[in-house]
Amino acid sequence: MLLLAGPVLLISCNSTSEPPSENKVESATEHKMKITDKQIDHLGITNKEFLSAASKRALQWPDIGNEWFIEFSGPQPLKGDLAYEKGVVRRDPSAMIKENGKYYVWYSKSTGPTQGFGGDIENDKVFPWDRCDIWYATSEDGITWKEEGLAVARGKKGEYDDRSVFTVEIMKNDGKYYLCYQTVKSPYNVRVKNQIGLAWADSPDGPWTKSKEPILSPADNGVWKGEEQNRFMVEKKGDFDSHKVHDPCILPYQGKFYLYYKGEQMGEQITFGGRQIRHGVAIADNPKGPYVKSPYNPISNSGHEICVWPYNGGIASLITTDGPEKNTIQWAPDGINFEIVSSIKDAPHAIGLNRSADNEKEPTEILRWGLTHIYNNGDEQSIMRFTSRRRTSHTAKGEASK
């Protein structure tokens, strides 16, 4: 059983214009911190009576060794139909499942250049993920792929998903298949509120039946300021997901269905960790919902695309790109209360996990290889492959390892 300590950032240090005198520095005894000789030796602390804020934080790190630490390869091109194609956007690969001896993956697909918000938004393409449909492909080895065709199309004019369906995830449960994904209704302006849709089928090849209404929507307690199309002007920001709900992923967990998602807040700010992005979870008794947002939301301080997997009775989450806790792996024994278990670098974007992996073999086994996407240029993206390896020691060339 993995036991985690309390939050890493618990103690702050007030700055002053003068260096603190000895009687202003709180000693470890005054803090009543129990410090062992083993901790002193391991952390290289000079004197336990004089602890810096950094040393105090280090003493509270969870004692988990290096079982969660990994290093990622750079992205590697795929072969077949998922190789780079001029004029085409293929991005945001779902997790992969293995059925009938082959891997399946779903992804966002669109064509043509991106014009942005400066022109005719009714007819232009404002983002690479605008005017997307969801397609799928299969592969026997995870490298050479065959594009099988359209899985889920945009809705009819006036429906909640008439502009774009994108950033899809797959879940298999009780012999059925479920795709959850983002939706946008026209017109696609900067204040548009993204929602989450669902489709289900008896086969990974479809046909897919779409939900008539979104299964999750942004909070409705933010207030825009004025009528100008400016997403930073607000009277009230509202909840962490008052503007958009993004990047959904449903996991069967503890007899229920946990829908993890990325939230964007109205009037989103830049903080010391970058964009103000956080994750949330909504829970249902049935895969089709209704999904109820957790009162504990947000459940992360950072992140971007959702990348979650079950491990050791809890849920692990790869947190990347945005926020003060970006570039970490976190784990929650209850799927909600996440703690940092590893700090990483160079994680791929929009990871599509290999769900056929033995995710209980070790904490990061599910990350040994998978799919990602890259920007070939501003108008074209393509799906790539990544690999990773555990890193347990550091040795120089020719040096004997421990």
pLDDT value of position 1 = 39
Dihedrals phi, psi of 57, to nearest 5 degrees: -65, -40
* pLDDT one-digit tens code per residue, 341-380: 999 999 999 999 999 999 999 999 999 999 999 999 989 9
**402: pLDDT confidence band, cut at 50, 70 and 90?**
low
pLDDT value of position 400 = 79
Task: Measure Cα distances from 197 to 7, 50, 181, 215, 353 in Å.
Answer: 34, 55, 5, 6, 21
pLDDT value of position 24 = 44
Task: Measure Cα distances from 158 to 163, 184, 186, 207 in Å.
Answer: 9, 11, 8, 23
pLDDT value of position 393 = 82
Tell me the pLDDT of the chain averaged across its residues. 91
* pLDDT one-digit tens code per residue, 237-296: 999 999 999 999 999 999 999 999 999 999 999 999 999 999 999 999 999 999 999 999
* pLDDT one-digit tens code per residue, 25-56: 444 444 467 899 999 999 999 999 999 999 99
Q: pTM of this prediction? A: 0.90
Peptide bond before residue 187 is cis, with ω within 30 degrees of 0: yes
Buried b (16+ CB within 10 A) or exposed e, 103-133: bbbbbbbbeeebbeeeeebeebbbbbbbbbe
Q: Alpha-carbon distance 92 to 94, whole Å?
A: 6
* C-alpha 250: how far from chain center: 12
* H-run or E-run covering 389: strand 381-390
pLDDT value of position 374 = 97
Report, as an integer, the average pLDDT of 187-194. Answer: 96
Candidates 249, 260, 323; CA nearest to 93 is 249
The answer to whether residue 16 scores a pLDDT higher than 60 is no
The answer to whether residue 19 scores a pLDDT higher than 80 is no
pLDDT value of position 17 = 39
* pLDDT one-digit tens code per residue, 305-347: 999 999 999 999 999 999 999 999 999 999 999 999 999 999 9
Q: What is the DSSP secondary structure assignment for residue 352, as one 8-state letter?
A: B
pLDDT value of position 32 = 64
Report, as an integer, the average pLDDT of 185-191. Answer: 96
Structure tokens at 68: 């969660």
Name the CATH code of domain 70-390 (choices 3.40.50.720, 3.40.50.2000, 2.40.110.10, 2.115.10.20).
2.115.10.20
**12: pLDDT confidence band, cut at 50, 70 and 90?**
very low
Task: Measure Cα distances from 221 to 34, 242, 282, 298, 378 in Å.
Answer: 45, 7, 17, 15, 34
pLDDT value of position 84 = 98
* pLDDT one-digit tens code per residue, 131-157: 999 999 999 999 999 999 999 999 999
For the chain, domain boundaries: 1-63, 70-390
Question: In this prediction, what percent of the chain has a pLDDT beyond 90?
Answer: 85
Rg, C-alpha atoms of the chain: 23
Candidates 299, 306, 336, 338; CA nearest to 320 is 306
**20: pLDDT confidence band, cut at 50, 70 and 90?**
very low
Contact 244, 264 (CB under 8 A): yes
Task: Measure Cα distances from 207 to 105, 253, 289 in Å.
Answer: 15, 26, 20
